[in-house]
Copies of this chain bind each other. A is one copy, B any other.
Amino acid sequence: MGITERKEREKAGMQRLILDTAMKLFIDQGYESVSMRKIASIIEYSPASIYTYFPDKSSIFYELHIEGFTRLLRKQTEVQGVMDPAERLLQHGRAYLEFAFENPQYYDLMFIMRTPAEQIVKNKDWEHGMRSYELLKRNVQECRNAGYFKESTVDSVALMMWAVVHGIAALHIRQRLILMELNASYFEGLIKDSLKNLKNLIR
């Protein structure tokens, strides 16, 4: 009875096609260009067909935001091998910032846009966001075990670290830094500066 399995495969394949098409539109032409009708026309189905595979547009963005977290987690896991906890925390921050600058659309979806947040609030559940935050907290905790941050709580430090890198990433992505720093290698300069400052925080 492989029919059920084949049907599931076909359904998953169609969902994949829709998600890939949506993400391609999003990356190439920006958020406003991602419309149900455009996705439908590219994959050569009627707009109503998409509703067989996703309940609404926002759940398509919700799925894409999960894929962003998978990518971020992969990048951050690469850095978990660093032995020194302070250096590891720093590299953790670097990985986060690099992800934000290299994948601005994913970052936007994950941490700035309203669309996936609606579902987070409704379900009172943000599995991937929490997993990412827990990893940060673990790294902070291990710094604490090594003698750092003795004056603060883990939560307070973790939130602070997150705020620094998110602040830079969000201001950059939403174009609030273009007039402040027009020097050469703006991108590299921002990351370098942020990390220097993160370093100052670790004591």
Q: Is the CB of B111 within 8 A of A179?
A: no
* CB-CB contacts below 8 Å: A100-135 with B: 111-114, 117, 120-121, 124-126, 129-130, 133
Q: Is the CB of B171 within 8 A of A162?
A: yes
Residues of B within 8 A of A180 (CB): 130, 133, 155, 159
Q: Is the CB of B117 within 8 A of A170?
A: no
Q: Is the CB of B120 within 8 A of A178?
A: yes
Q: Is the CB of A163 within 8 A of B194?
A: yes
**In the complex, A179 Cα to B194 Cα: how many Å?**
26
* CB-CB contacts below 8 Å: A146-203 with B: 151-152, 155-157, 159-160, 162-168, 170-171, 174-176, 178-181, 193-194, 196-197, 200-201
Which listed residue, B111, B151, B167, touches A164 by the CB 8 Å rule? B167
Q: Is the CB of A197 within 8 A of B167?
A: no
Residues of B within 8 A of A194 (CB): 160, 163
Residues of B within 8 A of A200 (CB): 151-152, 201
**In the complex, A159 Cα to B197 Cα: how many Å?**
10
Which listed residue, B130, B168, B176, touches A111 by the CB 8 Å rule? B176
List the 7 closest pairs (A to B, CB-CB), nearest first. A163-B167, A167-B167, A117-B175, A166-B167, A160-B197, A163-B168, A170-B170
Apart from A124-B179, A163-B163, A163-B167, 13 more pairs, CB < 8 Å? A112-B174, A120-B178, A121-B178, A156-B193, A156-B196, A159-B168, A159-B181, A162-B167, A162-B171, A163-B164, A166-B171, A167-B168, A167-B170
Query: Which positions in A face B, CB cutoff 8 Å?
Result: 31, 111-114, 117, 120-121, 124-126, 129-130, 133, 151-152, 155-157, 159-160, 162-168, 170-171, 174-176, 178-181, 193-194, 196-197, 200-201
